[in-house]
């Protein structure tokens, strides 16, 4: 069995939030394999600590993935501020005899340094074309926790555990290791949040994560962070803004200063992304046609929405508005450019993380969230998602009442279809199955 088959068998998906099946991503040849250790979302502390605690496994997983795609080099992208972790990684690369084949690439402490296209440019100097993916310029990008899962998969250990930071307005910010499927309320309690209904919870980082509709759910293979905020926090109000009110506000309040475009990370890479034009198009009631397809080049990083716009309106929402309309009409952006070069002003227009955190009113929550790598939580019940990955949902292979062992395959996708296998994360009895979840009660 080759390593991609092992990765598929272990159910590895992008652990950073994307959920794309990793075995599919590795099914192409590349010149570079890049580790996304930027963790540019404010307050999240998973990747930097995984690299500190498990450097050998992460380097090993990345290197093995690189070997499979025939990459000439593996580069670990990590922000300059993590000096101690960088030293640990460099020492480990040397100790493993991988100098020259694996190296550490230093990233600036800006948002969004972890956007795949920004990461590719920072580490290789190559610009991914508009609407393209990294493989278009010979790169495969892997998240830090995904590399750890690849290392385990090669050793026939499936994905059953998840690392999550719980941060924000909590008594004790912490990063935890829990079985996939652990109830969200139990994870929140680990940071001292005993009454989550008194708060709003962001599923992921403060910039790109959505507000959770309810906290009755379970940890999935792509849960990365839970950010807890009071209901009256300004970011909560921004995240609750709906399309209709955003469009109305955009029509009346845009000054056409174009700060949204000038600071946009995709525009700065030389793409045509122009949120100020999309805001204008919404204001004039423009039709969703070929003139607004640049909206599709937006990666929805929310920088324009939460940082750049001095009027506090919603340029990203203008992009999202047209993306939806264009999708309905099946119209796709065709770039008239063949080469992409970053704009000259790029290095002066990148947004430092500290300034972003201050603007988001999160500075008082910007604290350590330590991981106790030895401690494993054992819930009484887990709800394991069959649909957390990109592609077709997995079909349950077990029935209510069945006994399952931790690591046992309990959900699978049809051969050849895009998707990922699902494993039991604890030993127990299946107590409930619906189209989305398998619930297991610990024995
Ligand atoms: S930054 Fe705000 S006010 Fe300025 S052009 Fe963009 S949407 Fe309009
Ligand atoms: S959300 Fe705004 S800043 Fe981010 S890529 Fe889209 S247009 Fe650019």
Report, as an integer, the average pLDDT of 136-142: 96
Tokens 């607004």 belong to residue? 292
Which has the higher per-residue pLDDT, 251 or 51? 51
Report, as an integer, the average pLDDT of 227-249: 93
Two tokens, residue 297 = 């080049």
Q: Which listed ligand is nearest to 297 at the C-alpha? A: 2
Among 298-312, 333-347, 397-411, the range scoring the smallest mean pLDDT is 333-347
In terms of residues, how long is the chain? 443
Q: How confident is the model at residue 1 (pLDDT cuts 50, 70, 90)?
A: confident
Report, as an integer, the average pLDDT of 163-171: 97
Q: How far apart are the first and last CA of the chain?
A: 33
Q: Which listed ligand is nearest to 250 at the C-alpha? A: 1
Of the candidates 149, 119, 154, 157, the one whose C-alpha atom is nearest the C-alpha of residue 58 is: 149
Classify residue 244 by burial, with Cβ atoms within 10 Å: 0-12, 13-18, 19+: exposed
Rounded Cα–Cα distance for residues 211 and 227 (Å): 9
Rounded Cα–Cα distance for residues 58 and 140 (Å): 15
pLDDT given for residue 154 in this prediction: 97
In this structure, the residue with its CA closest to atom 4 of ligand 2 is 301
Q: Give yes or no for residue 404 having a pLDDT over 80.
A: yes
What separation in Å is there between the alpha carbon of 175 and the centre of ligand 2?
A: 29
Percent of the chain whose pLDDT exceeds 70:
100
Q: Give yes or no for residue 435 having a pLDDT over 80.
A: no
pLDDT given for residue 415 in this prediction: 84
pLDDT given for residue 249 in this prediction: 84
Report, as an integer, the average pLDDT of 255-282: 96
Residue 182 forms beta bridges with which residues?
none
Residue 218 forms beta bridges with which residues?
183
Report, as an integer, the average pLDDT of 36-54: 97
Q: pTM, whole model, 2 decimals?
A: 0.95
pLDDT given for residue 306 in this prediction: 96
In this structure, the residue with its CA closest to atom 8 of ligand 2 is 264
Q: Give yes or no for residue 276 having a pLDDT over 80.
A: yes
Two tokens, residue 91 = 């020492």
pLDDT given for residue 422 in this prediction: 97
Rounded Cα–Cα distance for residues 390 and 372 (Å): 30
Report, as an integer, the average pLDDT of 160-165: 97
What separation in Å is there between the alpha carbon of 344 and the centre of ligand 1?
A: 21
Mean pLDDT of the chain: 95
Give pLDDT tens digits for 171-219: 999 999 999 999 999 999 999 999 999 999 999 999 999 999 989 999 9
Q: Are 428 and 434 in contact (CB under 8 A)?
A: no
Of the candidates 157, 183, 122, 233, the one whose C-alpha atom is nearest the C-alpha of residue 385 is: 183
Report, as an integer, the average pLDDT of 290-296: 94
Rounded Cα–Cα distance for residues 24 and 418 (Å): 8
Report, as an integer, the average pLDDT of 65-94: 97
Two tokens, residue 427 = 């030993």
- Sorted by where each starts, the structural domains of the chain and their CATH numbers stand as 3-154 (3.40.50.11540), 160-233+361-378 (3.10.20), 239-354 (no CATH), 380-443 (2.40.50)
Rounded Cα–Cα distance for residues 324 and 305 (Å): 18
pLDDT given for residue 128 in this prediction: 96
* 303 CB near ligand 1 (under 6 Å): no
* 258 CB near ligand 1 (under 6 Å): yes
Among 64-68, 250-254, 271-275, 405-409, the range scoring the smallest mean pLDDT is 250-254
Of the candidates 265, 295, 267, the one whose C-alpha atom is nearest the C-alpha of residue 281 is: 295
* 312 CB near ligand 1 (under 6 Å): no
pLDDT given for residue 417 in this prediction: 87
Q: Give yes or no for residue 16 having a pLDDT over 90.
A: no
* 255 CB near ligand 1 (under 6 Å): yes
Rounded Cα–Cα distance for residues 315 and 326 (Å): 17
Tokens 């385990």 belong to residue? 152
Q: Give yes or no for residue 281 having a pLDDT over 80.
A: yes
Rounded Cα–Cα distance for residues 427 and 257 (Å): 58
Phi, psi (rounded to 5 degrees) for 26: -85, 5
Report, as an integer, the average pLDDT of 335-363: 94
Q: How confident is the model at residue 248 (pLDDT cuts 50, 70, 90)?
A: confident
Of the candidates 62, 64, 57, 63, the one whose C-alpha atom is nearest the C-alpha of residue 2 is: 64
Q: Are 144 and 47 in contact (CB under 8 A)?
A: yes
* 430 CB near ligand 1 (under 6 Å): no
The three state secondary structure string of the chain is CCHHHHHHHCCCECCCCCCCEHHHHCCCCCCEEEEEECCCCCCCCHHHHHHHHCHHHHHHHHHHHHHHCCCCEEEEEEECCCHHHHHHHHHHHHHCCCECCEEEEEECCEECCCCHHHHHHHHHCCCCCCCCCHHHHCEEEEEHHHHHHHHHHHCCCCCCEEEEEEEECCCCCEEEEEECCCEHHHHHHCCCCCCHHHEEEEECCCCCCCECCCCCCECCCCCCEEEEEECCCHHHHHHHCCHHHHHHHHHHHCCCCCHHHHCCHHHHCCCCCCHHHHHHHHHCCCCCCHHHHHHHHCCCCCHHHHHHCCCCCCHHHHHHHHHHHHHHHCCCCCCCCCCCCCCCCHHHHCEEHHHHHHHCCCHHHCCCCCECCCCCCCCCEEEEECCCCCCCCCEECCCCCCEECCCCEEEECCCCCCCCCEECCCCEEEEEECCCEEEEEEC
Q: Give yes or no for residue 70 having a pLDDT over 90.
A: yes
Percent of the chain whose pLDDT exceeds 90:
89
pLDDT given for residue 79 in this prediction: 97
What separation in Å is there between the alpha carbon of 273 and the centre of ligand 1?
A: 14
Q: How confident is the model at residue 58 (pLDDT cuts 50, 70, 90)?
A: very high
Report, as an integer, the average pLDDT of 285-301: 94
């Amino acid at each position: 069995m080759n390593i991609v088959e092992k990765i598929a068998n272990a159910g590895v998906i992008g652990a950073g939030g994307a959920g794309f099946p990793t075995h599919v991503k590795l099914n192409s040849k590349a010149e570079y394999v890049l580790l996304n250790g930027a963790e540019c979302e404010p307050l999240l502390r998973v990747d930097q600590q995984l690299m500190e605690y498990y450097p050998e496994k992460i380097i090993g997983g990345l290197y093995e993935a690189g070997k499979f795609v025939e990459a000439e080099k593996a580069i670990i992208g990590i922000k300059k501020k993590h000096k101690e972790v960088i030293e640990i990684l460099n020492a480990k690369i040397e100790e493993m005899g991988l100098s020259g084949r694996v190296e550490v690439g230093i990233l600036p402490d800006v948002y969004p340094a972890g956007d795949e296209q920004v990461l590719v440019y920072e580490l290789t100097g190559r610009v991914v074309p508009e609407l393209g993916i990294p493989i278009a310029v010979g790169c495969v990008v892997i998240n830090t926790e995904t590399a750890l899962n690849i290392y385990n998969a090669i050793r026939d250990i499936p994905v059953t555990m998840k690392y999550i930071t719980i941060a924000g307005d909590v008594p004790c910010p912490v990063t935890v290791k829990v079985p996939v499927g652990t109830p969200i309320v139990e994870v929140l309690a680990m940071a001292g949040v005993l009454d989550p209904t008194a708060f709003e919870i962001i599923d992921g980082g403060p910039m790109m994560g959505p507000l959770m509709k309810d906290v009755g759910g379970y940890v999935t293979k792509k849960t990365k962070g839970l950010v807890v905020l009071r209901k009256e926090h300004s970011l909560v109000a921004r995240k609750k803004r709906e399309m209709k009110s955003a469009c109305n506000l955009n029509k009346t309040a845009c000054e056409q200063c174009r700060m949204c475009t000038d600071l946009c990370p995709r525009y700065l890479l030389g793409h045509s992304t122009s949120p100020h034009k999309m805001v204008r198009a919404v204001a004039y009631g423009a039709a969703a046609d070929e003139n607004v397809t640049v909206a599709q080049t937006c990666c929805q990083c929310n920088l324009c929405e939460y940082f750049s716009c001095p009027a506090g309106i919603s340029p990203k929402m203008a992009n999202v508005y047209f993306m939806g309309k264009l999708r309905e009409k099946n119209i796709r952006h065709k770039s008239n450019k063949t080469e992409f070069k970053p704009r000259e002003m790029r290095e002066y227009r990148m947004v430092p993380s500290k300034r972003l955190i201050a603007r988001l009113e999160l500075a008082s929550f910007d604290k350590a969230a330590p991981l106790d790598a030895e401690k494993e939580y054992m819930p009484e019940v887990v709800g394991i998602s069959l649909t957390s990955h990109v592609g077709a949902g997995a079909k349950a292979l077990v029935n209510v009442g069945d006994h399952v062992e931790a690591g046992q395959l309990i959900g699978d996708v049809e051969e050849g279809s895009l998707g990922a296998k699902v494993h039991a994360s604890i030993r127990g009895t299946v107590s409930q199955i619906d189209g989305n979840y398998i619930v297991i009660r610990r024995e």
